[in-house]
Amino acid sequence: MAKVRVFSLAKELGLQTDALLAALARLGVENVTKASAIDEETAATVRELIAEQAAKAKAEAEAAAAAAEAPPAPVEVEQPAVAEPEEAAPVVETPATTAAAPAAGRGRARGDERERKEEDEGRLPGGPPRLTQGMMRLEEHLAALQERLGPQAEEEAGGLVRALPDIARRTRGNRPPNAVDVPPVVTVMGHIDHGKTTLLDALRNTQVAAGEAGGITQHIGASEISRDGRTIVFLDTPGHAAFTAMRARGAQVTDIAVIVVAADDGVMPQTVEAINHAKAAEVPIVVALNKMDLPGANPDRVKQQLLEHGLVPEEWGGDTIVVPISALTGEGMDDLVDNLNILAEVQELWADPEADLAAVVVEAQLDSSQGPVATVLVRNGTLSVGDCVVCGTAHGRVRRLRDWRGKSIKSVPAGHPAEVVGLSAVPDSGEVMVRVASPKEARALAEQNAQELRERELSGTETAALRGLYEAIQGGTVKELNVIIKADAWGSAQALESSLLGLNELFDEVRINVIHTGVGHISESDVLLALASKAIIVGFQVEADAMVRQAAANERVEIRTYQVIYEALEDFQAAAAGLLEPIVETRDLGDAEVLQVFRISRIGAVAGCRVTAGELRPNADIVVTRDGEEIYRGKITSLRRFDNDVSVVEAPSECGLASGDFRGWRPGDRIHATMQVTVERKLQTQSQR
Ligand code: GDP
């Protein structure tokens, strides 16, 4: 059956898309977004109802005007609502899991639930309302509809892009008169060898004019594709790692993620990662089903696999646009570009070319002849040669600008990428570039940024943690706990996921969200995702190697690994109940007796001892007694055996030890050593009781 997209229908009817979505919800059509396609029959019903209401509202307005009473409310004509449906009103069946924009979708679904409840309370007795009754209750709905059209609805609609950092965020809200439409920014992600690079090359080469054969070889880090007067910006570094690394720094520039899946290979681990990284960023997803030219291509199998990961293809009643293509032969490429344009149109992206400059660094490197070179995407304002700019701790005057084809330009308008030469240092990707009035101001701001960076590094960033969860809940700072699950096998990953989600039944104050479930060891990409999404990583029968642990420690990302599911569940329960605060315990280490005392000019006094029980370790706390009386308390500051520093000496070995500048040792003194250890608190389980 023919389908029509929600936003196209809204446009046709002169309605705001949110109003139409609300109206559709009343018709029982749920789990749809602006980009969803609804069947023609539903669209026809909506058109009819709108026409009837408009006519009715108009008649009433005229009658009211004639009666010279209050002036007619124009909104009734301009923004008609849809009345209660007949029982037989067509319903589009959509599976419960639509995932292109999870948060926005959820928000809306909750809102609709509330609205439905309110409606139900006011429902006329005597069975389901007939169309005419619904029409009579039009006025009642108008007020509610009007409310939804207010700022709150605007905010909900902005849910897809709300996560952007303040300055480089896509501008929402009232569009100033001088605003211009800007192209969407698209990132290509997917499993290795599924054709990301080939796709980007193919897209770029559609722009090559005849005679320029050989393709565009100079990449600045972003490309622009224009068709039918509409432009799309593609980021040239494919993959979700770069995407999430930028997001982890607070900059998200991607408006649409294209997930490339080879039709002959299907959904692979990195495909799942890419899907989950895009979902965590609330970026709409388009699936490019690549390599359709190969005999082994099996699109239905891939769609089935996508379904398992929460992406329901449109043709199966869902929201995910799946476009079969061959990056090699060019098949389906136009269709892909058309669909990207449709999704972009839904997002109504605009920027203000006269606003203060805000540009985001996409990538940057040091060039041996030109110095630091950065590719930036201008989000707002206009960047021109000669501008004094600051970009994190780098600053300078823009000496040269190049467009995506490498052509020198004088200025870059909002929405477009360019290569910038003239900075004092190589900025990090994700850094935001701003303009200042003078080189002096640029230096001062760069120094201030450097100072803030140092302070941030010292104080640490706000990250999620299981430990401390209770306090955070009490303090009202945590409502949701994002979790990334990595396990040794799919079965166990899913078992852990459903067990953790099952805890939500028990928790009142905190909600566990699993934002990514994957198989394999914990990787740096998981750490990045955790950082970007303020999540903790739970490993089940998998480990993180030393480099990953170090990266996690640097970024203060919490990794917890378990061998048994119930231990993970206990920890989560304990954390929510405030029982997971670590306990610091004093543990007995060992005893020693001083045999001989050496005076060494550099160190002071060294006690030559025999360990009589247990062991001694550097940094251990010691109590020294003589004839049963305590004569000294301190720490072991040096522990040696045969002139070598050692980390432990066990009974009955001999060793030399020093404690700060304590010099009062005597042969025969007794030493008792203890150590402070931090113990993770464990709950007693039923099986242990
Ligand atoms: P990436 O790792 O995702 O960037 O994958 P590449 O773009 O490097 O492609 C991997 C391999 O798949 C290369 O040998 C490409 O030539 C091949 N390839 C990419 N797209 C297609 C396609 O549509 N059809 C066929 N037959 N091969 C393709």
Q: Residue 322: pLDDT above 50?
A: yes
DSSP symbol at 338: H
Pocket-forming residues, ligand 1, beta carbon under 6 Å: 190, 192-198, 238, 290-291, 293-294, 326-328
Winning range, highest mean pLDDT, from 164-173, 195-204, 210-219: 195-204
Q: Whose CA is nearest to atom 24 of ligand 1?
A: 291
**Residue positions counted in the chain:** 689
Quote the ligand 1 centre to 194 CA distance (angstroms).
6
Residue among 235, 273, 328, 336 to mutate when testing ligand 1 (max atoms within 8 A of CB): 328
Quote the ligand 1 centre to 257 CA distance (angstroms).
18
pLDDT at 634: 93
- d(C-alpha 525, C-alpha 531), whole Å: 10
Q: Residue 126: pLDDT above 50?
A: no
Going along 601-688, which residue ranges are E strands? 604-616, 621-626, 629-635, 638-641, 644-645, 649-650, 654-658, 670-679
Average the pLDDT over 47-76 and give the result. 64
Work out the pLDDT band at 672, boundaries 50, 70, 90: very high
Could you tell me which of 447, 446, 416 has the C-alpha nearest to residue 433? 446
Rg of the chain, C-alpha, whole Å: 32
- CA distances to 357, 362, 407, 599 from 433, rounded to whole Å, are 7, 11, 21, 62
Task: Specify the higher pLDDT residue, 212 or 305.
Answer: 305
Work out the pLDDT band at 680, boundaries 50, 70, 90: low
pLDDT at 123: 36
Q: What is the mean pLDDT of the chain?
A: 77
Q: Whose CA is nearest to atom 18 of ligand 1?
A: 195
> What are the residues facing 537 on neighbouring strands?
484, 559
Of 113-127, 259-273, 371-385, least confident by mean pLDDT is: 113-127
Provide, for the chain, the percentages of residues in helix, strand and coil under a 3-state DSSP scheme, each rounded to the nearest 5. Answer: 35, 30, 40
pLDDT at 347: 82
Long-range Cβ contacts of 608-613 (<8 Å, 24+ apart)? 608/654, 608/655, 608/656, 609/654, 609/655, 609/656, 609/657, 609/671, 610/652, 610/653, 610/654, 611/649, 611/650, 611/651, 611/652, 611/653, 611/654, 611/655, 612/651, 612/652, 613/651
Atom of ligand 1 nearest to the CA of 325: 23
pLDDT at 305: 95
pLDDT at 121: 37
Task: Specify the higher pLDDT residue, 587 or 462.
Answer: 587
Q: Residue 81: pLDDT above 70?
A: no
- CA distances to 223, 387, 393 from 380, rounded to whole Å, are 18, 15, 21
How is residue 41 written in tokens?
């029959």
CB atoms within 10 A of CB 668: 10
Report yes or no on whether pTM surpasses 0.75.
no
- d(C-alpha 436, C-alpha 386), whole Å: 11
pLDDT at 626: 94
Work out the pLDDT band at 480, boundaries 50, 70, 90: confident
Work out the pLDDT band at 157, boundaries 50, 70, 90: very low
CB atoms within 10 A of CB 116: 14
Q: Residue 28: pLDDT above 80?
A: no
pLDDT at 216: 56
Residue 278's Cβ-count burial label (10 Å; 0-12, 13-18, 19+) is buried
Q: Give the count of alpha carbons within 13 A of 615, CB side only.
A: 10
Average the pLDDT over 39-65 and give the result. 73
Q: Residue 358: pLDDT above 80?
A: yes
Dihedral of the CA atoms 29, 32, 33, 36 (nearest 10)?
A: -100
Of 82-86, 301-305, 459-463, least confident by mean pLDDT is: 82-86
Quote the ligand 1 centre to 527 CA distance (angstroms).
28
Quote the ligand 1 centre to 193 CA distance (angstroms).
6
Atom of ligand 1 nearest to the CA of 294: 26
pLDDT at 232: 94
Contact 240, 277 (CB under 8 A): yes
Quote the ligand 1 centre to 440 CA distance (angstroms).
50
Average the pLDDT over 356-377 and give the result. 90
Q: Whose CA is nearest to atom 19 of ligand 1?
A: 195
Average the pLDDT over 545-572 and give the result. 86
- d(C-alpha 422, C-alpha 404), whole Å: 17
pLDDT at 688: 36
Contact 262, 501 (CB under 8 A): no
Q: Whose CA is nearest to atom 9 of ligand 1?
A: 195
Q: Residue 246: pLDDT above 80?
A: no
Residue among 189, 192, 198 to mutate when testing ligand 1 (max atoms within 8 A of CB): 198
Residue 174's Cβ-count burial label (10 Å; 0-12, 13-18, 19+) is exposed
Q: Whose CA is nearest to atom 25 of ligand 1?
A: 291
pLDDT digits (tens, 9 = 90+) for 499-518: 888 888 877 777 888 999 98
- d(C-alpha 215, C-alpha 231), whole Å: 19
Q: Residue 34: pLDDT above 60?
A: yes
Atom of ligand 1 nearest to the CA of 198: 7
Quote the ligand 1 centre to 678 CA distance (angstroms).
52
Quote the ligand 1 centre to 135 CA distance (angstroms).
56
- d(C-alpha 359, C-alpha 369), whole Å: 24
Q: Whose CA is nearest to atom 2 of ligand 1?
A: 193
Quote the ligand 1 centre to 195 CA distance (angstroms).
4
Dihedral of the CA atoms 245, 247, 253, 257 (nearest 10)?
A: 80
Quote the ligand 1 centre to 326 CA distance (angstroms).
9
Residue among 193, 196, 331 to mutate when testing ligand 1 (max atoms within 8 A of CB): 193
Of 8-17, 578-587, 654-663, least confident by mean pLDDT is: 578-587
- d(C-alpha 336, C-alpha 322), whole Å: 9
pLDDT digits (tens, 9 = 90+) for 616-628: 999 899 999 999 8
CB atoms within 10 A of CB 149: 18
Quote the ligand 1 centre to 120 CA distance (angstroms).
54
Q: Residue 373: pLDDT above 50?
A: yes
pLDDT at 59: 75
